[in-house]
Structure 1
Amino acid sequence: MKTLLTTYFVILFSTISFAQKPDKVLARVKYSFIHIRDTTQKNNPYTENMLLVIGKNASVFTSLDRLERELDLPKAKRAPGSPFKPINQVDLYFFAKENKLMSRERFMNAYYLIDEPSQQINWKITKDTTSFNGVHCKKATATFKGRNWIAWYAPELPFQSGPWKLNGLPGLIIQANDDKKEVQFLFDGIDNLKKENLSAEQIELAKVYDKSFFFSTEIALQKDAKITARAEFDKIMDLFKKDPKGFIAAASGTPRDKVFIGGSMTGVSHTTINNPIELPEKK
């Protein structure tokens, strides 16, 4: 295990060159994420509040619920005795000009920027139109990651970004769902970046948000994160999943019998997922 780990870590730590200048934040869009993770519990879907931070070229999609929990906001605190809700721990960066997607994940007390395989989404734009909270949108459809997607994008907002890995349309993707509505990203508003006409309470809340990496004035990749490819990162994760104790012992030098792996710190296990967002590609 130790020899194998050494080989993989050498590959994992080899840096992929990707120079990306910080991009000024131009908008922040909120989405309500609804996902039927367990098809035996269709009436009890997973829900999470998400955030898309957009610049001229770059964007990053993250969990707003996670950010608010990290900022220790009162509304993010759970009531005593209530179940602990797992939240999304992966951040997705998209760079429009390069058509490049990167994810940011934490593993073994370190952050990794993972170079995802690029994939052009073959959107078909239709004549259908609608509006969400006064934002005029056009409809587009595509088959992507094993699902048939319906997206509504706003031509008046000239960003090629969208929620999750959905991107590449001539306008910001305001709302999207698969044709079975097992996965939905519902538009929940655009933040007022100029902080004009805000109440005193909103101004104070904005000061708290400003402490977050995702509420700064620029979109930038984490400087101290290790950059690697998806295939190499997955090899390491597979080793960890097969033998967590052996992996930690080999990586840390701690004797195997001294490695302790407990259950969930909250005492709550993760929800069954038999219906992931990404499904096998249709042939």
Structure 2
Amino acid sequence: MTRNIHLHPCIYILLLIGVHTSATAQITLRTNTAHTVKNPQPVMGSVLYDFNYVKDTSRRDYIYTETFELDYAKTSSYFTSYTAKQNDTLMKNQMAMAFKNAPDPDHVEITLTGSAATSTDKFYTERHPQSRVYAIKMLVGASFIIPDAGTPTNWKIIDSTKTIQGYVCQKATGSSYGRHYTAWFCTDLPYRFGPRRLNGLPGLILEAYDDRMEVVYRLNRVENLTTGRTPIGLPADAEMTTNAAFARAEEAFKRNPQGFIDARSSRATTGRATGITGSFDVSKIKSINVKKTSTEPKGIKANNPIDLVTDSL
């Protein structure tokens, strides 16, 4: 699909923060800005998961796929889309080259290519000593932290083992947000974390799936790190909120994007933005031509949320 878009500079800011609106023609671009974090924890390793997901229960022949990354420290972890990070890097390079090679630096025409929209899920888990999971969401350039209000997974460890890519793993079962999961964890990696909200076992979860095989995380690889990865933590500039309050904010934005931005003008990013392009003057963008590839069949409906039960707060 190719769309040629001419927008006011403020709309480009919405594009950069990954907001879906009719004005942005359903384009998703995320910021890759490094936030200052509270109580930064040095990353000790990373797990990449291949994610398979039945998004539409009426089309079980179509399996959505994506790669996720779990960075873990001694007492915390950060879960996000690895595929999205790759797309962001690609688009950042494309935009940087467009600015560098533009015949007229005051009227830059940009062409971006990339895959279809990816997950915006980000979860930070910390243990002190009990685990606490926080969803991290973005809206109009601002970060929001939503603490989980649900009951932690009550795992049952089972006397069964299997080897995954050389790692001896033990089986456990438990329910999380309406789904019953089987998880395989490795005590040789003694960190009590896993994909998304799954955590609390005496070892890293290297594989997990629900009993319907609709949500499946399989190990891609484990990376042991000593240097080179940004420390993890909750964004220092984020606002603490609830699922209900964030949903109301999203609805307010959808009804009146410009009014919502004006109401938050003291906090919103203006003029120049840092994100997938680093620092640039958005007023110099003449047009953005977006070419996105997707293997998703037409008519797929997202009727099968990962969390079948959600927090009421």
Taking structure 1 as the reference length, what is the TM-score of the superposition? 0.71
Cα contact 1:100–1:118 (8 A) shared by 2: no
- 1:222: Cα distance to partner? 2.0
* 2:62 is aligned with 1:44: yes
- 1:194: Cα distance to partner? 4.6
- 1:236: Cα distance to partner? 1.8
- 1:118: Cα distance to partner? 4.9
* 2:301 is aligned with 1:272: yes
Instruction: Indicate how the Cα distance of structure 1 residues 245 and 63 shifts in structure 2: closer, same or farther if over 3 A, else same.
Output: same
Distance 1:20 1:71 in 2: 25
Structure ranking higher in helix proportion: 1
Instruction: Indicate how the Cα distance of structure 1 residues 232 and 81 shifts in structure 2: closer, same or farther if over 3 A, else same.
Output: closer
Match in the other structure for 1:235:
248
Written as runs of structure 1 = structure 2, the 5 A alignment for 1:165-204 is 165-194=197-226
Written as runs of structure 1 = structure 2, the 5 A alignment for 1:191-230 is 191-194=223-226, 215-216=229-230, 218-230=231-243
Instruction: Indicate how the Cα distance of structure 1 residues 266 and 82 shifts in structure 2: closer, same or farther if over 3 A, else same.
Output: closer
Give ranges in structure 1 of 5+ residues lacking alignment: 1-18, 196-209, 254-264
Distance 2:301 2:174 in 1: 28
Cα contact 1:117–1:230 (8 A) shared by 2: no
Instruction: Indicate how the Cα distance of structure 1 residues 270 and 248 shifts in structure 2: closer, same or farther if over 3 A, else same.
Output: farther
Distance 2:260 2:80 in 1: 32
Cα contact 1:23–1:220 (8 A) shared by 2: yes
Cα contact 1:104–1:114 (8 A) shared by 2: yes
Please give the root-mean-square deviation of Cα atoms over the aligned residues, in Å: 3.1
Cα contact 2:124–2:233 (8 A) shared by 1: no
Deviations 1:231-272 (A, max 9, x none): 3222322444xxx2435325426xxxxxxxxxxx76889951
Cα contact 1:114–1:228 (8 A) shared by 2: yes
Aligned residues: 228
Taking structure 2 as the reference length, what is the TM-score of the superposition? 0.65
Q: 2:125 aligns with which of 94, 97, 111?
A: 94
Instruction: Indicate how the Cα distance of structure 1 residues 72 and 131 shifts in structure 2: closer, same or farther if over 3 A, else same.
Output: same
Structure number with greater CO (CA < 8 Å, separation at least 6) is 2
Instruction: Indicate how the Cα distance of structure 1 residues 81 and 69 shifts in structure 2: closer, same or farther if over 3 A, else same.
Output: closer
% same residue: 29
Instruction: Indicate how the Cα distance of structure 1 residues 110 and 52 shifts in structure 2: closer, same or farther if over 3 A, else same.
Output: same
Letter of the aligned partner of 1:246 in structure 2? N
Deviations 1:203-255 (A, max 9, x none): xxxxxxx6xxxx31x11222222232333222322444xxx2435325426xx
Q: 2:164 aligns with which of 132, 137, 153?
A: 132
Distance 2:67 2:43 in 1: 20
Cα contact 1:49–1:63 (8 A) shared by 2: yes
Match in the other structure for 2:262:
252
Written as runs of structure 1 = structure 2, the 5 A alignment for 1:74-113 is 84-97=115-128, 98-113=130-145
Deviations 1:10-60 (A, max 9, x none): xxxxxxxxx952111111000001100011221211100100000000100
Distance 2:214 2:123 in 1: 21
Cα contact 1:150–1:178 (8 A) shared by 2: yes
Match in the other structure for 1:142:
174
Cα contact 1:130–1:137 (8 A) shared by 2: yes
Match in the other structure for 1:201:
none
Q: 1:60 aligns with which of 53, 74, 78?
A: 78
- 1:82: Cα distance to partner? 8.9
Instruction: Indicate how the Cα distance of structure 1 residues 111 and 176 shifts in structure 2: closer, same or farther if over 3 A, else same.
Output: same
Indicate the SS of the match to 2:90. Answer: coil
- 1:192: Cα distance to partner? 3.9
Shifted more, 101-110 versus 270-279: the winner is 270-279
Cα contact 1:160–1:167 (8 A) shared by 2: yes
